[in-house]
Structure 1
Amino acid sequence: MHLRALLLTLLLLLPGLTTANGPLTIAAASDLRFALDEILDAYREAHPDDTVRVTYGSSGRMTTQIMNGAPYDVFFSADIAYPQKLRAEGHAVTEPEVYAIGRIVLWSNRMDASEMTLEDLLRDDIRRVAIASPTHAPYGVRAMEALKSVGVWDDLQSKIVNGDNIAQTARMIQAGGAEIGIIALSLAEFPDLAEHNYHLIDDALHEPLTQGFIITRRGEHNDTAHRFSEYMNGDTARDIMRRYGFVMPGETLPEDGPADTAAAAP
């Protein structure tokens, strides 16, 4: 009997094996920190028996962690290329699915960014400009692309400071580590940050922030993983995502939307 119990324990600990009703562990890009927290609150009300835990970070780092056996059942990436990579290399059991399109903004809690342009970042009164690391953070890559598009990337090198992910970049600006920076619209819409104005960066200046998710090999038999994935496609989750500035798959920003205007504080 003891040997049988030991064998069962070892089987449950093997990578990729999860009980059908076990807790759900999510890895999520940090631009989702506020929107996904709100979605999870609504999900838990609808499914009080489900246990869900979420870890936020940079999409690139989390991809590497999943490839190395990190215990995540679902992965929400800020760039669908990472879930595609996991699927291609056998670490995902579902096809990558687009859940949103992200946007980037100029944001500061020290100066009015609403009328600023990317070229203004070269001003002498701006000593540090924060962006997420382009090495492993999709929002950092898109910030770099936009700065290159307007021809200021090279001249800004002495000013640029990097956050490990987009949430850390926003915190860096808040704490005074930079006068201004490029962050996710979804973070700028959070009440604490929305007290300050931002300027929405023209999405023609960078590749789309097409965000996608997958169920990992570990989450294949986790009922909660599949249930929550379906919930993300429902009206409640989509309405919350829109409120945080995400564009839903198949939708576009309205012509009178914020694309060419500054967003005022509520």
Structure 2
Amino acid sequence: MMRIKKALSIGALCFFNLHSAWAAEAPPIAAASDLKFALTEVAVQFKKDTGQDVRLSFGSSGIFKTQLENGAPYQLFLSADENYIFSLRDKGLTKDGGVLYAIGRIAFFIPHNSGVTADGELNGLRKMLADGRIKRFAIANPAHAPYGRAARAALEHAGLWRAIEPKLVLGENASQAMQFAGSGSAQGGIVPLSLSRTPEVARLGTFATIPAAWHSTEPLKQRMVLLRNAGTVAEEFYRYLQKPPARDILSRYGFARPGEAVK
């Protein structure tokens, strides 16, 4: 009997240690690619303030949604389109409907060697199209990237979609679209404003914010949600993202706060 009790005690201790190790492991976080710079900085500040780590993966919100529907083990999802969150909630995969954490903005980017300065009304792009100087133009893929859909809506508003559609090079996500536009693979692009807020990217060309009204049919309401399997660190990071230190970092990268008027 004593041997049995001892074995049970050892087994319980091993289980407790394994559970504690799992709970302490940095949780995997899925985040829209427009958050690449801003959220990385938030995670650094989170570790300074709490001593906790998170593992960030950046990509297309639509692709992350599909992965989560197929059992991907992310514990927190920060989407660039709140409708993806609602869809996951309706399938019973999340703890609730989540919260808005930011409103995204799109920007027109033109490389320095183009001879044109970026403008929010896309007049420079119109001129380059008329002159035949646009051979390739980068946006994220509208099929699964919210920033791609917003870019398409803005181009349609400007009356340029039909002329530019044959010249489009589509990034798998918004970050890849920025890579295409900034590397010289394209003569410009419509990309997240947030990706222009680092010196490394800003020195590649000029950016101008496109009016939010130009893509009002595709508003970039960015929502986050905890998945059913979320642990304590993911929950803590979720709460941290709603506090002033995180919100201030997001604002500095061009994101509007929920409820803030966006022009």
Q: So what's the TM-score if we normalise by structure 1?
A: 0.85
Q: 2:40 aligns with which of 37, 42, 49?
A: 37
1:162 paired to 2:170:
yes
Q: 1:218 to 1:194 in 2, by over 3 A?
A: same
Structure 2 unaligned regions, length at least 5 = 1-6
Q: 1:145 aligns with which of 147, 153, 168?
A: 153
Q: 1:30 to 1:92 in 2, by over 3 A?
A: same
Spell out, residue by residue over 1:186-215, the C-alpha distance to the aligned partner (whole angstroms, 9 max, x if none).
Answer: 001121122232121111111311000000
Spell out, residue by residue over 1:85-106, the C-alpha distance to the aligned partner (whole angstroms, 9 max, x if none).
Answer: 1011111112221100001011
Residue 62 (structure 1) aligns with: 64
Verify the 8 A CA contact 1:106 1:113 in the aligned structure 2: no
Equivalences for residues 9-88 of structure 1 within 5 A: 19-48=22-51, 50-88=52-90
Q: 1:79 to 1:121 in 2, by over 3 A?
A: farther
Q: 1:204 aligns with which of 209, 213, 229?
A: 213
1:230 paired to 2:234:
no
Equivalences for residues 95-134 of structure 1 within 5 A: 95-109=97-111, 110-111=113-114, 112-115=116-119, 116-117=122-123, 118-120=125-127, 122-123=129-130, 124-134=132-142
Greater shift, 114-123 or 28-37, is seen at 114-123
**Displacement of 1:20:** 4.2
Residue 15 (structure 1) aligns with: none
Which residue identity does 1:99 align to in structure 2? Y
Q: Distance in 2 between matches of 1:58 and 1:120?
A: 31
Q: 1:156 to 1:69 in 2, by over 3 A?
A: same
**Percentage identity across aligned positions?**
39
Q: State the aligned residue count.
A: 243
Spell out, residue by residue over 1:91-143, the C-alpha distance to the aligned partner (whole angstroms, 9 max, x if none).
Answer: 11122211000010111223343244353452311111100000110000010
The SS at the match of 1:192 is: helix
Equivalences for residues 165-244 of structure 1 within 5 A: 165-195=173-203, 196-206=205-215, 207-219=218-230, 222-244=231-253
Which residue identity does 2:211 align to in structure 1? D
Q: Distance in 2 between matches of 1:71 and 1:36?
A: 19
Q: Give the superposed CA RMSD.
A: 2.2
The SS at the match of 1:108 is: strand
Higher helix proportion: 2
Q: So what's the TM-score if we normalise by structure 2?
A: 0.86
1:252 paired to 2:261:
yes
Which residue identity does 2:117 align to in structure 1? A
**Displacement of 1:58:** 0.2
Q: 1:188 to 1:73 in 2, by over 3 A?
A: same
**Displacement of 1:244:** 0.4
